[in-house]
Amino acid sequence: MPTKTVRSTMHVDDKGRLTLSADLRKKLGIGPGDVIFCKGKEGRFICAKAINPLDAVRPSLAERRKIREGLADLKAGRVTPWEKAKEELGL
């Protein structure tokens, strides 16, 4: 299935800034604080979202929630830390 092309008209403000449309930001996965690389080539302005290689190893929101729950269980004494369990089992 071909991907839908999002077209957007932008205007440069007096400080040289461009505002990307919500559709374009959503299509390209661009959010506040993202870094965009741009270059001019052959009369064109080419931009690409910078990709952080650490994003691949960063836990998702669901994973972070599970980690918080696990730490809360550990702190409340509902689970035994591995080092203590090894000691109790004589490993």
For 19-77, how does the pLDDT look when each residue is reduced to its tens digit (9 = 90+)? 888 888 888 888 888 889 989 988 888 888 888 777 777 788 888 899 999 899 988 98
Residue 65: its pLDDT value, please?
A: 92
Structure tokens at 90: 């004589």
1-52 is a CATH 2.10.260.10 domain = yes
Say which residue, 8 or 39, is predicted with more confidence. 39
Residue 3: its pLDDT value, please?
A: 64
Q: Please answer whether residues 7 and 20 qualify as being in contact, where contact means their C-beta atoms are separated by less than 8 angstroms.
A: no
Where exactly does CATH 2.10.260.10 map onto the chain? 1-52
Q: 36 forms bridges with which residues in the sheet?
A: 49
pTM reported for the whole predicted model = 0.47
Q: Which amino acid is at 76?
A: A
